[in-house]
Amino acid sequence: MKLQVITSNQGKLREFQAALPQVEIIHNDADCDEIQADTLEEVVLSCIEQLRSKGLNNFILDDSGLFVDGLQGFPGVYSSYVLRTIGNAGLLQLMDGRTERQARFKSCIGALIDSEVIIAHGECQGKIAFAESGTEGFGFDPIFIPDGYEVSFAELSLAEKNKISHRGNALRAFSAQFNSR
Ligand code: ITT
């Protein structure tokens, strides 16, 4: 089976390739307008329908975000904008003086397979570090310490991150649905 991964993010693409060894991954940087919505799933469903109406089929995409408890879930669905603007340094500044540092990454995977929609969710609990560390991964990885670890996502190998990450969990949930069709 060939599956097009729709993303502009090379880091995500690498994680998809590692987590779905049974399918032939083709990168497609087709664009969809990311609507401003309250949930990742609404964004994913809107993208799927936009791409379906352009004639695409047999593709998979992911919308993710970092939700910080002490910031009422911010940046959440605004994660991409926050990373582009204030970045990790800015987010650490927002957390300055806060001892409550619990946060979670969430991923919503959406796919259109033989014209049928599959949706799968994954989460990873952790906390916001006090400083950036590590050079692996991408995005918020240098400031996120998953529960049970002393190091950030950016200090884990791609395989170690995939074992516990929001995207790894969402892709395992996706694979279960995909294989039971
Ligand atoms: P797409 O083209 O796939 O949409 P994107 O980078 O815009 O790529 P998202 O909107 O899903 O992806 O992600 C929102 C932001 O959260 C974005 O800036 C990512 O870099 C960041 N992010 C998503 N997953 C992450 C992960 O596993 N580790 C660190 N940061 C992540």
> Which CATH number covers residue 110?
3.90.950.10
- Rounded to a whole number of angstroms, the distance between the first and last alpha carbons of the chain is 13
Q: What is the pLDDT of residues 115-136, one digit of tens each?
A: 999 999 999 999 999 999 999 9
Give this prediction's pTM. 0.97
Q: How confident is the model at residue 6 (pLDDT cuts 50, 70, 90)?
A: very high
Q: How many domains does the chain have?
A: 1
Structure tokens at 161: 């991150």
Question: 3 with 24: CB under 8 angstroms?
Answer: yes
- pLDDT of 34 > 90? The answer is no
Region for residue 16 given its phi and psi (left: phi exceeds 0; alpha: psi -120 to 50; beta: otherwise): alpha
Q: What is the pLDDT of residues 64-77, one digit of tens each?
A: 999 999 999 999 99
Question: 105 with 64: CB under 8 angstroms?
Answer: yes
Report the SS3 class of residue 136.
coil
Give the ligand 1 atom nearest the CA of 83: 18
DSSP string, 10-44: HHHHHHHHHH-TTSEEEEE---------SSHHHHH
> What residues are in contact with ligand 1 under a 6 Å CB criterion?
7-9, 12, 62-65, 79-80, 83, 137-141, 153, 165, 167
- pLDDT of 1 > 90? The answer is no
Q: How confident is the model at residue 54 (pLDDT cuts 50, 70, 90)?
A: very high
Domain encompassing residue 19: 2-179
Nearest residue (CA) to ligand 1, atom 18:
80
Please tell me the distance between residue 63's alpha carbon and the centre of ligand 1 in angstroms: 7
Say which residues have a Cβ less than 8 Å from residue 99's Cβ, sequence separation at least 6.
none
Catalytic residue among 29, 33, 63, 96: 63
Give the mean model confidence (pLDDT) for residues 153-174: 98
Mean residue pLDDT of the chain comes to: 96
